[in-house]
Amino acid sequence: MVGGHIKLWLGLTGIIFFVTPLLKPADTIIGQVTQEVSYVHQHLGVEQGDRFIKAANEFFDESIVRSGIAAIAIKSEAPSGLADQQFAKPATRAGDLARGYATGLLANLYALILRVSLAAAWLPLLVPFIGACVWDAIQMRRRKDYTLDYVNPGTYGAGLHAIVFLCFLPLVYFVAPMPVSPLLVPLLFVPAGLVMNWTIQNMQRVSV
């Protein structure tokens, strides 16, 4: 079951990342990334926002621009000697479309880098919260064993499916084809911690 979920979510993530530049003009995608950068400043403050944006800029510049990947991606010109041939315009149009797709893809990649850096910055604050939820659930589960309290199998089954969904949802956040607030990251962790708590509390007893 887990393998099927992994393939499903990775496939969905790849489709969103690579298909979006085909459906939206590059200028639109760049405008959305610019808006997301403004969200970072607005929701985290100018100083903290500048720190994340500077880190994303440096990583993108070092790994994509200076390495030559960006130049290769957007260099799509019609071959020389086609100017007077009847298929010169279609070839030029194809080159424009390829450049637009590559530019949109690079904008998506920059947004991905920025979002990953923001999510990583939240982890030191949110992982202890998840740990506390799990620890509390384990203690509650032990209490139910001692007191023979009812363990709800329906809650356990629904919780397992919800955990899988919440674990892979960040992948969609990383490639979401729209401006996203950096505050979405803790909003994903809070329900994940609560669902883990409920699920562990209702884990089914194993008969030996």
pLDDT 10s digits, 36-75: 999 999 998 888 889 999 989 988 888 887 777 777 666 6
Q: Are 111 and 33 in contact (CB under 8 A)?
A: yes
pLDDT(11) > 50: yes
pLDDT(17) > 60: yes
pLDDT(190) > 50: yes
Confidence (pTM): 0.78
CA 34 and chain centroid, separation: 17
What pLDDT is attached to residue 156? 74
Give me Rg for the CA atoms of the chain: 23
In which band, very low, low, confident or very high, does the pLDDT at 112 lie, cut at 50, 70 and 90? very high
Q: How many domains does the structure of the chain reveal? A: 1
Q: Are 18 and 105 in contact (CB under 8 A)?
A: yes
Domain contains 208? no
Domain contains 185? yes
CA distance 97 to 73: 12
Average pLDDT over residues 191-203: 83
**Domain extent for 65:** 2-201
1-10, 118-127, 174-183: which range is least confident on average?
1-10
Domain contains 206? no
Give 116-175 pLDDT, tens digit per residue: 999 998 889 888 988 898 898 888 878 877 776 666 777 777 777 787 777 788 888 899
Distance (Å) of CA 9 to CA 22, 51, 140, 179: 20, 31, 32, 20
CA distance 207 to 112: 46
* pLDDT over 90 percentage in the chain: 15
pLDDT(111) > 90: yes
CA distance 149 to 60: 54
Domain contains 151? yes
Give 77-103 pLDDT, tens digit per residue: 444 444 445 544 554 566 677 788 888
Domain contains 207? no
Higher pLDDT, 202 or 126: 126
Higher pLDDT, 2 or 18: 18
